[in-house]
Amino acid sequence: MTERILVTGNEAVGWGAIAAGCLHFFGYPVTPQNEITEWFARELPKRGGCFVQSQSETGSINMLFGAAATGVRAITTTSGPGWGLMQEGISSIANAEVPCVIVNVQRGGPGAGTTRHGQMDYLSVTRGGGQGGYKNIVLAPASVQEIYYLTQLAFYLADKYRNLVILLSDGILGQMIEPLELRSRSFAPLPEKDWAIKGLKWHKDGRRRVVMAMQGLMPTPPHPPYANYLQLLEALNKKYMMMEKEEVRYDTFEADNAEIIIVSYGYTARVSKEAIVLARKEGIKVGMIRPITAWPFPYQIIREKALNGAKFLVVEDSLGQLVEDVKMAVQGMAEVSLLGALARHDPTDVGMILPERVLEEILKGA
Q: What span, in angstroms and rounded, lies between the C-alpha atoms of 304 and 292? A: 18
Distance, CA of 105 to CA of 171 (rounded, Å): 6
pLDDT in tens, 119-165: 999 999 999 888 899 999 999 999 999 999 999 999 999 999 999 99
What lies within 8 Å, CB to CB, of 320 at 6+ separation is 314, 338, 340
SS3 breakdown of the chain: % helix, strand, coil, rounded to 5?
40, 20, 40
The domain segmentation of the chain, as residue ranges, is 4-181, 250-365
Which has the minimum average pLDDT: 53-67, 79-93, 113-127, 247-261? 113-127
What are the pLDDT digits (tens) for 273-286?
Answer: 999 999 999 999 99
Phi, psi of 117 (to 5 degrees): -90, 170
Helix (H) or strand (E) holding 337: strand 336-339
Write the CB contacts of 245 (distance below 8 Å, at least 6 apart in sequence).
none
- Separation of first and last alpha carbons in the chain: 46
Q: Is the domain defined by 4-181 classed in CATH 3.40.50.970?
A: yes
* Cβ contact 89:65 at 8 Å: yes
> Do 4-181 and 250-365 fold alike per CATH?
yes
Interaxial angle between packed helices 144-161 and 229-246, expressed in degrees from 0 to 180 and rounded to the nearest 10: 140
138 forms beta bridges with 166, 295
CA distances from 97 to 93, 120, 164 (A): 6, 27, 8
The mean pLDDT value for 197-220 works out to: 84
Cα separations in angstroms, 103 against 90, 141, 316: 13, 11, 19
- Closest of 27, 143, 57, 119 to residue 320, by C-alpha: 119
Question: Does CATH place domain 250-365 in 3.40.50.920?
Answer: yes
- Residue 349 burial (C-beta neighbours within 10 Å; 0-12, 13-18, 19+): middle
216 pLDDT band (50/70/90 cuts)? confident
Note the pTM of the prediction, 2 decimals.
Answer: 0.96
* Sequence-ordered strand ranges (E) for 23-92: 24-27, 50-53, 74-78
pLDDT(61) > 90: yes
b/e for 174-195, b at 16 or more Cβ within 10 A?
A: bbbeeebeeeeeeeeeeeebeb
Mean pLDDT of all residues in 340-347: 96
Q: How much is the mean pLDDT over the chain?
A: 95
**Each residue's pLDDT tens digit, 22-43:** 999 999 999 999 999 999 999 9
pLDDT at 1: 67
Q: How far is CA 47 from the centre of its chain?
A: 26
SS3 state at 364? helix
Higher pLDDT, 109 or 161: 161
Q: Which of 161, 169, 110 is nearest to 138 (CA)?
A: 169
